[in-house]
Amino acid sequence: MPAADLLSRLVMRPALDFALPPRCPGCGAVTADPHRFCLGCWSQLAFLGDPCCAQCALPFDYDAGPDAVCGGCLAHPPRFDRLRAAVTYGEIPRAVALKLKYGRPGVAETMARFMVRHIGAQADAILVPVPLHRWRIWRRGYNQAALIAGALARQAGLEARLDLIARIRRTPPLKEMSPRERREVLRGAFKVPAYRKAEVKGRAFILVDDVYTSGATANGCARALKRAGAERVDVVTWARVVKNADH
């Protein structure tokens, strides 16, 4: 870096930090560096990982082995091959997800920094976000899952194809619906367009979303990819709902 550029950055950085200091993604408190949580918010995050269900990442109380599957996945096998999430859904992860959804697109970079550890050594996998219907994108201005996928692509060195899956049917909000109702509402809502199927056949994909709740959305997208010829579909999300979680 030229000496003049370095000097300019050293002079300007304190002024920029004063005008726009880094803030906690959870509560907005000023922090030392970007994408860092304050101590209070950090202490409320419950990070997910092993031991857990090999398919849906449901936490286990003890290690039952790398291939152990929970009762829910045994009874109703998911369409995807493997899901992993950065944190348990709770007050702080919810606040972060809402900031991304309603006007803070930079939070996608923060989420991706915590999600990237779950990508693994999948050099040939393609990142693909859960799609929004075109009318919802028009109203919001962006797809939050696509922003996360783009950030993950930069951090993991993978390719992202942001419009590979189409949401062909507009659906109502799922928040108050039961898992069964969600499955019915989302049935047939996702599709890989015929002219894109050649990009899918025989490939491995990592589906990206902000929150995993009942699995209806992830399963719907995975089903569309598998029908188009995908060999494998994993899922990675910022947060996962865990019943009876302390956070």
- Predicted confidence at residue 10, as pLDDT, reads 40
CA distance 217 to 46: 23
Give the distance, in angstroms, between the CA of residue 177 and the centroid of all CA atoms in the same chain: 21
What are the CA-CA distances from residue 85 to residues 36, 68, 121, 198, 207 (Å)? Answer: 18, 17, 16, 29, 12
Give tens-digit pLDDT for 94-106.
Answer: 999 999 988 889 9
Q: How much is the pLDDT for 6? A: 38
Given the structure tokens 């920029």, which residue do they identify?
Answer: 16
In this predicted structure, what is the pLDDT of residue 122? 79
- Let me know: does 210 contact 101? Beta carbons within 8 Å: yes
- Quote the CA–CA distance of 149 and 162 in Å, as a whole number: 8
Pairing relation of β-strands 166-167 and 190-191?
antiparallel
Residue 123's pLDDT is what? 78
Sequence-separated (6 or more) residues with CB below 8 Å from residue 83: 55, 56, 57, 212, 215, 218, 234, 235, 236, 237, 240
pLDDT at 159 over 70: yes
